[in-house]
Amino acid sequence: MIETERLKIYAASQDIMEQFIEEQNVDVLKAAYTEMLNGCLKHPDQWDWYAIWMIELQDGTHIGELCFKGLAADGIAEIGYGISEAYQNNGYATEAVKAVLEWAFSHPEVAAVEAETDPENAASKRVLEKCGFALNGIIGEEGPRWAVSKC
């Protein structure tokens, strides 16, 4: 578990992910979270790199999720994140992403972390900028790709 001043962030267990997936009522999210669980089951030795990471306030209130989309052989991991609407605009996404970047870069095999965001998603772009990401000139499925390298 990663703890910050305001947050607890942890990679969910199989039971927690299965329950979380079952509770989803948005098909796109259900499919994405199922893909994450399948990645965990296929690569149990890399569980944290495929799992749904739960973002909670210190009191245990669930406010969002993030994930890595595996760890490539070249040491690049892609991150995705989201904060529930009721908790947005409080700096929680920035706090969570900074914390997991520190965790990711503590692993010697990690060279960089990348993310994609819709060009219209100003809030997500601000999170990436505050966390040290910069555009790398590549356009991905979800929009421009951003990257931050290990210092």
- Could you tell me the two tokens for 28? 């796109």
Tell me the C-alpha distance between 12 and 4, whole Å. Answer: 17
CA 150, distance to chain mean position in Å, is 17
DSSP 111: -
pLDDT at 144: 86
Q: What is the pLDDT along the chain (151 residues), one digit of tens a residue?
A: 999 999 999 999 999 999 999 999 889 889 999 999 999 999 999 999 999 999 999 999 999 999 998 899 899 999 999 999 999 999 999 999 999 999 999 999 999 999 999 889 999 999 999 999 999 877 878 888 899 998 7
84/57 Cα distance (integer angstroms): 12
Domains of the chain: 2-149 (3.40.630.30)
Residues facing 65 on adjacent strands: 54, 82
- CB burial of 46-75 (b: ≥16 within 10 Å; e: otherwise) equals eebbbbbbbbbeeeeeebbbbbbbbbeeee
Q: Please report, for residues 19, 118, 132, the alpha-carbon distance to residue 13 in angstroms, rounded to integers and kept in the order given.
A: 10, 29, 29
Amino acid identity, position 123:
A
So what's the pLDDT on residue 100? 96
